[in-house]
Structure 1
Amino acid sequence: MGTWISMDEACSRLGVRPQTLYAYVSRGKLEVMSDPADTRRSLYRAEDVAGLARRKQAGRKHETLATNTLFGAEPSIPTALSTFVRERLYYRGQDAVTLAGSATLEEVAHLLWDAEQPVDFSSTASVTEPGRVTAFNTLATLAATGHSTHGRMTRVLHLEAQELVGQLANAFGAQAGQQPLHLRFAQGWQQSPQVADLLRTAMVLLVDHELTSSAFATRIAASTGASLPACLLAGLTTLSGPLHGDASGRVKALFNEVERLGEDQVIAHYLSTGLPLAGFGHHLYPDGDPRAVALLALFDPPDVITRFIEKATRLTGLQPNIDVALAALVIHYRLPDDAAFALFATARSIGLLAHSLEQLGVGQVIRPRGRYIGIMP
């Protein structure tokens, strides 16, 4: 079987129409390239087609399930914000790891929001008791008094979105001021410019991750015409779960055990009891989370943490994900206890607002149907 095949052959092997083939490509399930002999035509990677065909033959029919169910497969919503191709994350077609090498959060927000003007997250508001409670209270107050997104120009919504991100950062401990967001966080936490650049890298890597549960919750709120702070609050409350954006808190607790008891004792306990190690493995990155690789390459975690990561990887076969890298960053630089969630929530607020803005163009309320399994009347 050749490496690349034509559209007609790909459609024939999969038993689908060209429109479905395009959907596979947009979801990152099928790689495509221009035909060198005729640039008007496209060629499709045969290995990807074969893999999709095997799954269809096994009865999974993934794409059909994805458009009709919420369990067993993800809901399928068209988006131009981010996707995965060959286990790499892309923001509007640009490699997220590459962007994290130099881009600021403001520049990534400008990209994702497709904004006309430069994005500015500066804020003059001061916070006396920064933290998660203040952040959620601030958003809740804004959500209760906010204006619907309907009937408002996109540029006006962009201005409101950047104000929301700036206020959220302040609530989490960033110092008020006019500087880029990563510098304001470093100043608020009394860190050096070197650490500020690490915070920038980490947050750029966390801005978006396609249709996560928090992005879906945000889109549901946006589809009803809710205010931007209400949409963001819906997303961040979902993000706060330990199986989502607060997973780094579980990793940090694990690292605290390692520092107290040593890596060998902790690993032995978890493996002997069959307990999963928080922060290892990711279903979207079976060969390793490129975001974690990029961030961990920029600093040296404490020796005991480094040894733990190496041994855990060797004994489980699972690679550390971004939650491990984020928790290691917080521990190494002695950032505030909830700094990992603060960085994650602030960065992801940019992506969640992008999902809100994108959903407004759909003009239809997201309303799944229930499948009743209770007592019949």
Structure 2
Amino acid sequence: MASWISMTEACKLLGVQPQTIYAYVSRGKLEVMPDPADTRRRLYRAEDVAGLAKRKQAGRKHETVAANTLFGSEPSIPTALCAFSRGRPYYRGRDAVRMARTATLEDAAQLLWGAEPAVDFSCTASLRSGKPGRGAAFVALASLAAAGHSTGGRLTRVLHAEGQDLVGRLANAFGASPGHEALHLRFAKGWKQPARVADLLRTALVLLADHELTSSAFAARIAASTGASLPACLLAGLTTLSGPLHGDASGRVRALFSEVERLGEDQVLAHHLSNGLPLAGFGHHLYPDGDPRAAALLALFEPPRVIARFIAKVTKLTGLQPNIDVALAAMAAHHRLPVDAAFGLFATARSVGLLAHSLEQLGTAQVIRPRGRYVGPVPEAAGA
């Protein structure tokens, strides 16, 4: 026999206001009857209330897990590509910083993609028309994405070949010289830099190839999970990478350095610290003891004096170490690289990782489809 409880008891058990109880009744989730002792009041089926309470508690746990999966510090997708251990990044178990001492981006791609033959980014086809930079790269990549073939039913080696062509074309769009040399040499040639700078570019490219499940890698994996073409997956990742809180953070650092060169390091630093303003490019949540990628790159050249003094003073006064965005911006300033060079290097290098994540996602045969947690007005009743 069913038992019945009052509105006050139902609200207490569910932790809600009377309006929510009325909504449950209107949606057929809660049975109601007049109170025999007082026809002005209503009673609610206790079993229905208990069931709702149980589902609500389970929902809270599910929402907590889902929110932590998307916004927490732990990765939500299994990957064998990149991991962090002892404050350093590793590509498939290999120390990325140590690897960057001698490896090329082609070597990193072969490792991350699991490619059998050596990877070759040589490319004579141009991905741009007009001035090199992200505008040319994104427009042309969008055209390739629109006409691209789905990844479904295609052999891995064929996808590797397409990936090689995409990275080579992307580099050309950012100013690398077309040709058959290693990609860092083509960048140096296109930007009219000597061999010693080419080696510096090589180091930077390897250090930037991947960084586990970043927001851009997640975007690329979502596209890949739907069977989208490789250029579409790459475009999804690169547009996400272009945000100032991600791959274009070096642009914020460049703006900060411009202030330093114009006003002096002491005035800029005093302004930021006295107003509690964050200093772009300093600190990294994954590297509390300092970004080893930045340390490795900064050890290979001397930043302009005013920038070097600024970096030293920020570290002394805040305890925060420069991250890879500072290293990239300082390198671009020291060698007078093109304005968009730091982002171009980042985007080209990380395209290797984005494609690696896309290829890895194809092996799961699952569409990534998170659920939304609706918090808007109660939906209207059917037929209303």
TM-score category of the 2 structures, normalised to the smaller one: 0.7 to 0.9
Change (3 A) 1:242 1:183: same
Q: Which residue of 2 aligns with 1:252?
A: 254
SS at structure 1 position matched to 2:70: coil
Q: Which amino acid aligns with 2:80?
A: A
Q: Which residue of 2 aligns with 1:231?
A: 233
Calculate the aligned-residue CA RMSD, in Å.
Answer: 1.3
The 5 A counterparts of 1:319-330 are: 319-330=321-332
Q: Is contact 1:146–1:230 with CA below 8 Å preserved after alignment?
A: yes
The 5 A counterparts of 1:99-178 are: 99-126=99-126, 127=128, 128-178=130-180
Deviation for aligned residue 1:86: 1.1
1:294 is the counterpart of 2:296:
yes
Tell me how far apart the structure 2 counterparts of residues 65 and 264 of structure 1 sit (CA, whole Å).
46
Q: Is contact 1:218–1:235 with CA below 8 Å preserved after alignment?
A: yes
SS at structure 2 position matched to 1:237: helix
Q: Which TM-score applies when normalising by structure 1?
A: 0.82
Tell me how far apart the structure 1 counterparts of residues 65 and 212 of structure 2 sit (CA, whole Å).
18
Name segments (4+ residues, structure 1) moved above 3 Å. 64-69, 72-75
1:265-322, CA deviations, whole angstroms, 9 ceiling, x for partnerless residues? 1100111111100000000000000000000000000111110000001111111000
The 5 A counterparts of 1:1-377 are: 65=65, 69-126=69-126, 127=128, 128-377=130-379
SS at structure 2 position matched to 1:70: helix
Q: When the two structures are aligned, how many residues end up with a matched partner? A: 315
Q: Is contact 2:106–2:121 with CA below 8 Å preserved after alignment?
A: yes
Q: Is contact 2:69–2:76 with CA below 8 Å preserved after alignment?
A: no
Tell me how far apart the structure 1 counterparts of residues 71 and 294 of structure 2 sit (CA, whole Å).
28
Q: Which amino acid aligns with 1:268?
A: A
1:183-217, CA deviations, whole angstroms, 9 ceiling, x for partnerless residues? 00000000001000000001100000000000000
Larger Rg: 2
Q: Is contact 1:66–1:74 with CA below 8 Å preserved after alignment?
A: no
Deviation for aligned residue 1:73: 4.5
Q: Is contact 2:191–2:337 with CA below 8 Å preserved after alignment?
A: yes
Q: Is contact 1:223–1:365 with CA below 8 Å preserved after alignment?
A: yes
Gapped regions of structure 2 (runs ≥ 5): 1-60, 380-384
Tell me how far apart the structure 2 counterparts of residues 282 and 362 of structure 1 sit (CA, whole Å).
31
Deviation for aligned residue 1:65: 3.5
Q: Which amino acid aligns with 2:100?
A: A
Tell me how far apart the structure 1 counterparts of residues 68 and 191 of structure 2 sit (CA, whole Å).
46
Q: Which residue of 2 aligns with 1:3?
A: none
Q: Which amino acid aligns with 1:354?
A: A
Gapped regions of structure 1 (runs ≥ 5): 1-60
Tell me how far apart the structure 2 counterparts of residues 281 and 108 of structure 1 sit (CA, whole Å).
26
Q: Which amino acid aligns with 2:123?
A: S
Tell me how far apart the structure 1 counterparts of residues 178 and 151 of structure 2 sit (CA, whole Å).
27
Tell me how far apart the structure 1 counterparts of residues 259 and 94 of structure 2 sit (CA, whole Å).
38
Deviation for aligned residue 1:138: 1.1
Q: Which amino acid aligns with 1:125?
A: A
